[in-house]
Structures are given as structure tokens and as C-alpha cells.
Chain A
Amino acid sequence: MAFEVILKKPEALTEREFTYCPGCTHGIIHRLVAEVIDELGIREKTIAVAPIGCSVFAYHFFNTDATVAAHGRAPAVATGMKRARPDLYVFTYQGDGDLAAIGTAEIVHAANRGEKITTIFVNNAIYGMTGGQMAPTTLLGMKTTTTPYGRSAENDGYPLHVAEIIKEARGVAFLARTKVNTPQDVVKTKKAIKKAFLAQIKGLGFGMVEVLSTCPTNWGIDPVSALKWLEQHMVPEYPLGVFVDKVGDEQ
């Protein structure tokens, strides 16, 4: 009886061990991106742009050419790459501090220009790397190290809905918000990521997936509770859905 390989590490991931905390869903999202790159056969023509934040080491994890952008500037860096080499595929991988706070200008304008790049936006409602401070996406009432009494609308404003802002930009070719706290949602997220890459490959414009993700360490709960917490608290604030899809169904 011959053995058959039914599951293996994607070629688009290196052998480096992830630096993410136990239960963090960054690892799942990394794998999905890598599987999509493999399936599209673009690993040798892809450049990854890592952000500042927990995923700063993404440049080690993706088995593609890679850089790290200054905090929030990944869409600008990706723009420079894509304009220099339109024949390559460029994606940014950014957290909510990076993309939704310091990098709001760059993401809005990259989307509006219809920059032919792909952005994976990981929203876990908190700054992870720096130790659990409030993010623009932190929920009202949520306690962080800089909102010890809970985020108040009066002092801190409201959770920022990035996908809803970006969807108004006419250069966007694919835009969805997904989550990765159940197996079914992992499958849906992969489909969305694939379309966000196809938007670029087909030259249609800017593609982005906002992925609701967990941060058990800084939320101060165990990994399984974090998956439930995401469902109970983040999904009502950040409705899932496909906001823009110019890619269509034929793939």
C-alpha cells in the first residue's frame, strides 16, 4: 500500500517557526495566504510587505521575496514595488494598529488609486506587539492597557470600520470582511483571500480582506474563549460580508 500525501506545509511558507502566541489566529491567516499563493502558482513572482506589529516577522515566514515597511506605510511601499515592477505580485500583511491608525492615509489612497496590490488586514481590536494598548478597532467598553476603564466614545471615539470606509473608493476591485474562528469561516476567508489576489492578477484594482482575528494574550482569556469572544463581541460590531467584488465567480 502506497502512502499518499494529503496535507503538507505550503511551499509559500518557510521552515521558520511562527513567533505568535498560542491561540493567536495569525498563524491560520498566514497559512491561508500561503495556500492561495501556491494554488495561484505565483510564489516566484510575489513580494510580501510585512508591517510593524506582531506580524513584523512575516518577512521570515512567507517563502517569497519580502521586506518590512515603516509603521503604516506598507501600502505605499507596495505601490512603489508594483509601479517599478508591474509584472510582480505584491501583497501587504497589516494589523489594525498599522493599517487603521498610523497608516490610514496610505491604505485609503492606495485603494482609491486602484493600486494593483493585495492587502490582508488582520483586525484583532488591540495592539499586540506593544503589549495590549487600545487600537482604533478596540470595542467600546473594552479594557486595554491604555483604556483601563474601558474604551469610552467620549474620550477615545468609536471603533473604526475600515472595510466600510474603503468600500467607497472606486479603485477597489475586491473587498470583504471575514473571520477565522470556525473551520467554515477559515474556508470562506481563504476564498476571499484568493479573490483579493485575483483582483491584482487580473489587473482589476485594489484587493483587500479584513480578517477578524483573536488575541488571547492581550484580551486576557484562553484561546477557546477568544474564538467565542470574537463571535459574541466583534462580529456584531464588524459585520461580515463581501463589500466589493469585481472579480466574479469564474476563477
Chain B
Amino acid sequence: MSERVLVKGTEAIGEAAIRAGCRLFFGYPITPQNELPEYMSKRMPEVGGTFLQTESEVATINMVYGAACTGTRVMTSTSSPGFSLMQEGISYMACAQLPAVIVNVVRGGPGLGDIQPSQGDYWQATKGGGHGDYKLIVLAPSTVQEAVDLTYLAFDLADEYRNPVLIIADGVIGQMMEPVTFPEFRDLNTLPNHGSWALTGAKGREKHIVVSFDIDPYVLEKMNLELVEKYKKIEAKEKRWEEYKLDDAEVVITAFGTVARIAKSVVEQARKEGIKVGLFRPITLWPFPYERLEEISKGKKLIFDVEMNMGQMLEDVKLAVKDHAPIEYYGRLGGVVPTPDEILQALKSKLGR
């Protein structure tokens, strides 16, 4: 078993990717995620991999597309404005069914916004982001250890479903140092074989074509329906979430990522004050764990959604909870991180206390 080491979130994600067998990283500088490409630029040559600093996020995502066409594990990371620039390429990758891992260390927006932690890209991450009908698998860590574990998992999910996987974090997760245990190095010979479709040279076989395109609408519709079937499979198998002190809870906080870890402090403080609060934390933002949240919400006094945005996950919370319980929202925007105290005060005021 590996020892525990103290490491920064962004670097932890980079190391986890290398241990997952990723030997290719393309990236363009943007704050607050620069430590990840910087780490990769140092680390990749040590493990026989390649790091390339690109001319733009647009070029980056298309390099990722190209590398993924060959069935090679590949990764990039960026932050919100850069993630916007990547959307066309991500849409192409989703349609062409290309596996890759993309990290978005979300910052305040919209527009140039700022460089502080935010969750303002929830809609962009979970509802498409680019053009056309598609979904990304979206993983939202709330600790550095979880960032490591989800990065390691992300490559397997991407390969299994031939789908881009997005890890959505923010500057808090990215900059924070926590002790983590890294998984073992993946034996590169055990990585999934994409020989049935990848572009590797048509030696002794028919040519392979990887495209996100067909001029015939009936053929394109078939491609779309194939994606729909895949998404159903992912929805059935890959929903992940955490339940924290929900057994006797009368109030359920819904929160993901950084806000969820703050919410744990809120749960503790509220319980000291005699309010039975628990936390429901989606780990996969897509597929969203609707069914479980619905079940949990039944008979609750309040579902209290807390986010660092204008209430984006709130829409999914409403879809899940339906009319089983009242729903309230509290959020901070523009890169402001809420304190446990202010969340608790907001919760108490919603409860009329």
C-alpha cells in the first residue's frame, strides 16, 4: 500500500492521471489551474509521456480529439473561459464516441469573471455545453483524496463508455493541500484495447473511420440513438453520491464539491443547536442521482440547496424532489465562497428560527 503524502489538489489530479496510465497531456495556461499543466510538464518526461503546451484551448481540445482517435489515454485541464472555447471539440468527441478526461477548475463568471472558486459551470458541464444532443460523465470531487480517486476512475469510465469524462473542481479543491494515498501505477499493458475502432493504421484489416458526421439524417439519427442508449446505460450504472448524517435528518442540504465540504461543518453546527440536518452530495453531476434524492426527500421539513452559483443544480434538485418537500436555495456568486456560519444563518432564517 502506498504511503500518505501531502499534496496540492491540481498536482494530485495530475499524478492520479499518470498512475491511471495517461501519458499524454495537452494544455494552455489559464488561472486557477496552471499547477496541473506545470506538474505534467515536469512529470510526463519522467514516465516516458508527452506534455505539450498548445496555442489555444481550441487547439488543445482538437489535439485531445486526435490523440483519442488513436485509442490512447489523454487528458487536458482548463478553467471556465477555456472550457467554453473547448465546447465545439467536446461536442465532436461526444458524437465520435472518443474517450478522454477533461478537468475544469471552475472560476467566477460569466465572461472574463475572476479567478476565484465558483460552481457557475454546472449547467455547461451537465446539460451539454456544446451543440447537439450529448452528455458528458461529470465527476465532482470535494476532497483532494476524492480528486485522486475520481481521476483514476475517470479514465476507466471514459474507456468503458467511449465518452469524454469531465472532472469539475474549483480553485479551493485545486489549491488546497491534503494528505492523500495514491493508487498503484497502472500496468500500461492492461489498459483497454480499442483495436476494434481506433485509428492505428489499416494493417491487415479494413480501414477505420472515426467521425462525428453523416450527411444522411437517417444515419445521423441512428448515431444519435446509439448515444441515447449509451447514456441510459450510464444512468443505470454510474450514479454516485454521498449521504452524510441523513438517518435522522429533518433538513437535507444538497451541495456538491467545495460547498459540500463546507456544508458538513454546517451539519455539525446545526446539530449542536438542535437542528437535525444531513447532507446529500451528488458525486456524479451527470448522471444525477435523482431517484435516491427523491427517496430521501420524502417527509423532510426542508431541502436546502447551497451552491456557488445562481442556483444551477437547484433545477436538478427540483426535478428529483418534486413536491415531496419544500425546497430553498442559498448561494454566493462571482467567486465568493460562503462560510459555514452564513449558510447556517440562511438555513435558520428559511426555517423561521
Contact = CB atoms under 8 A, between A and B. Distances in A.
Given A65-B207, A73-B58, A83 B199 contact: no
Interface in A14-73: 14, 43-47, 49, 56, 59-60, 63-70, 73
B72 interface: yes
Nearest to B49: A83
B203 A44 contact: yes
Interface range on chain A: under 10, 10 to 19, 20 to 34, or 35 or more?
Answer: 20 to 34
A80 B69 contact: yes
A251 B287 CA distance: 56
A70 B62 contact: yes
A88 B200 contact: yes
Interface in B104-132: none
Q: How large is the interface on B (under 10, 10 to 19, 20 to 34, 35 or more residues)?
A: 35 or more
B88 to A, nearest CB: 6
B221 to A, nearest CB: 19
B28 to A, nearest CB: 11
Contact of B70 (A14, A45, A81): A81
A73 B67 contact: no
B56 interface: yes
Interface string A129-164: 000000000000000000000000000000000000
Given A44-B203, A105-B56, A67 B69 contact: yes
Interface stretch (B208-216, B232-240, B241-249): B208-216
Interface string B34-74: 00000000000000001010111011101111111110101
A80 B74 contact: yes
Contacts of B52: 79, 83
Contacts of A77: 62-63, 65-66, 69
Interface string B186-223: 00000000000001111110011111110000000000
A85 B23 CA distance: 11
A119 B352 CA distance: 68
A81 to B, nearest CB: 4
A59 B211 contact: yes
A106 B212 CA distance: 20
Nearest to A56: B213
Given A63-B202, A73-B62, A83 B209 contact: no
A78 interface: yes
Contacts of B211: 59, 67-68
A67 B210 contact: yes
A169 to B, nearest CB: 12
Contacts of B70: 47, 81, 84-85, 88
- Which among A56, A60, A77 has the greatest number of chain B C-beta atoms within 10 A? A77
Contacts of A85: 70, 72, 200
B24 interface: yes
Contact of A63 (B55, B204, B207): B207
Please indicate which of the listed interface residues B67, B199, B208, B210 has the most CB atoms of chain A within 10 Å of its own CB.
B199
B66 A70 contact: no
Contacts of A82: 66
Given A80-B66, A84-B67, A105-B59, A73 B207 contact: no
Contacts of B83: none
11 contacts: A66-B207, A67-B199, A67-B209, A73-B59, A73-B65, A76-B66, A80-B24, A80-B66, A80-B74, A106-B55, A106-B58
Given A69-B66, A80-B24, A81-B67, 20 more contacts: A14-B207, A44-B204, A46-B201, A65-B199, A65-B208, A66-B209, A69-B65, A73-B62, A76-B58, A76-B66, A77-B69, A78-B66, A80-B68, A83-B24, A83-B67, A84-B67, A85-B70, A105-B56, A106-B55, A108-B55
Interface of B: 24, 26, 50, 52, 54-56, 58-60, 62-70, 72, 74, 88-89, 92, 96, 199-204, 207-213
